[in-house]
Chains A and B, each alone.
Chain A
Amino acid sequence: MEINSPPSNEVLDFCNSFKKSFKEHGWPNSKIETWKMTPLQKFIKDSSSLKHNSKYLLSNNKNKFIKNVDINNLESLNSKYFQKNEMSRVILSHISNAFEILVPKNTSKKETIDIKSSIDAGIWSSSLIIIKVPENVECNIALEFSLSSNSLCTPLIAIDVGKGSNLSFSLSVINSSKSLNASNFVSLIEGDLSENSNLEMVLTQQGVTLSRSDININLNQNYSNYDLIGVYFGREKQHQDITTCVNHLAENTSSNQIIRGILDDNSVGVYQGGVKVAPNAQKTDGRQMSRALLLSNLAESNSKPELEIFADDVSCAHGATIGELDKDQFFYLLSRGVSHSVARELLIKAYLNEVVEEIQNDYLSDQLEKAIDFWLSEFKMKEVA
């Protein structure tokens, strides 16, 4: 079933202030700290020639969960994050689709909602998606964006997870055909978590010219938890960016962000990860681990794992490594008679496999494996050629 929900007048009214701001300031420029490593103007040159259209397909029969945006729920767009982020004005002044995913209350069954969106050549798909998870439910949601050449996709996603609920959320960006140009993806995602709730997220990015996901998570109440597995693949002149900030705002909150990047050819990878601990967020446990693998002499990796801590009883750590395939591991495989190309593939798979193993939820690990397999099949074709 297709989700086609053009923004109502109320939504358009709400977006008016963003429209004004866009007219005045336009796209974010690279003088802004969080855009320094991802110069948008290099990738998005002429957005005005694109036609506005936004299509979503619900792959399973879950249409009862999709609603028009409730005017009361627009409140979540008033958050500091959306108000201050320079992309909000770009997205909200161009939306052509706006809907809510409403998980029903009091369901004991774990619901699964799969949504796909294809963005064809010549199209700019800008959309607003509000995901509401009520108290004490579990659900899986997957969003897949498949881009064509000369297309632009800018979703703004606001997620709210109620008390005691678990949301497993997968977002993947892929290429609709093998080699794309001028296919750009820029998203904004904010998640608000209530007491004892849990947001487990898998993000994969590959195949498009520019892909940036900017994620802001607020652990608003005690014992809320956020886990992120983010994997990006870059090749040719692609630019991959994952930017996150996890705000620990209450006691006993925890977060774990694991990022893996593989960069081939002339591609560039960026990870900007933030963990911020508010003065009252005692007993916070915040972790980040980012690793980037460079497969080519011309690839480039940038990491900025940041900690900002104002509470003392915390345990926070981050680690970051950048390098090529481990030489000792490579030699070990060769010494067992494994050829260079098989050893390389095995080690790349292993590098990715390690993060698949981290995921408890089968639905999410399937989503990640699917993305990895898709990339590996294209990678092998390249290696053979």
Chain B
Amino acid sequence: MSLLKIEDLYASIGDEKILNGLSLQINAGETHAIMGPNGSGKSTLSYVLSGREDYDVSKGSVFLDSKEILDIEADERSRLGLFLAFQYPIELPGVTGMTFLRTIINSSRVAKNLPELEGIELVKLIREKAAELEISQDMLKRFVNVGFSGGEKKRFEILQMALLDPKIAVLDETDSGLDVDALRIVGKGVTNLKSKDRGMLVITHYQRLLDHIIPDFVHIMVKGKIIQSGGPDLAKLVEKEGYKSFLNGN
């Protein structure tokens, strides 16, 4: 049974149609990559999946663990096990990293009928996961994403993913704004989170991220739908020839 199933999805913002009949299935343990040129609708897909309100879904359905989620609000989707790593993580002035992580961990634990974590136990858990991603204690004392470098923001996203332990993780352009070293740390962090129970959807423009997070399947998205699917080699082809050949073929 697939963990995430997208069926014939159509979505628009205002008068602009962005997704035009997109279908995709991800099974537990699989990592899928969606590649596409700018404006193909990649980020819209990630927002529609996570439940952002600005989009109109006119047709199609999305099942998470065989539960239809399109009518469910964003917070509920997250508690059901869907995680989105943002392309541009939002700044939260006035909210320290620790307060934020405590709040999200406990919201997720309450949903899973687990007791809330407090004090040393909580701090230990956060520190442990933070260390793996080379996130300093100092960074956790700062306001979320305020004044963070590109690399710090993305590492903080992956830290949240590690703490929430989602069933499906959607990574939206996680490589954007990263230098080589940051890319390596983030790639390693994500790879460590691969598991037989989890599905991952990596959305990217470039192939370089896929050197660090090796996908099982690669899909090419153009004008709001998937036009070709294949193995990791397909990503190499994009790297070599660009999207031109796919665009012409369409």
Contact = CB atoms under 8 A, between A and B. Distances in A.
Check whether chain A touches chain B (CB < 8 angstroms): yes
Interface of A: 326, 328-329, 331-340, 342-343, 346-347, 349-354, 357
A329 B160 contact: no
Nearest to B163: A336
A354 B75 contact: no
Nearest to A338: B107
Contacts, number: 75
Contacts of A351: 94
Interface string B147-175: 00000000000001000100000000000
Contacts of B103: 333, 338, 342, 346
B188 interface: no
B64 interface: no
Contacts of A328: 90
Interface string B47-78: 00011110000000000000000000111011
A337 B107 contact: yes
Contacts of B77: 335
B75 A343 contact: yes
Contacts of B90: 326, 328-329, 331-332
B104 A336 contact: yes
B116 to A, nearest CB: 12
Contacts of A337: 75, 78-79, 104, 107-108, 111, 164
Nearest to A352: B94
30 contacts: A326-B90, A329-B91, A329-B92, A331-B53, A331-B74, A331-B90, A332-B92, A333-B103, A334-B75, A335-B50, A335-B75, A335-B77, A335-B86, A336-B78, A336-B164, A337-B75, A337-B107, A337-B111, A338-B104, A339-B75, A339-B107, A340-B75, A346-B95, A346-B100, A349-B94, A350-B92, A350-B93, A350-B143, A352-B94, A353-B94
B89 interface: yes
Interface string B209-240: 00000000000000000000000000000000
A346 to B, nearest CB: 6
Contacts of A347: 92, 95
Nearest to B101: A336
A335 B107 CA distance: 11
A331 B55 CA distance: 13
Contacts of B18: none
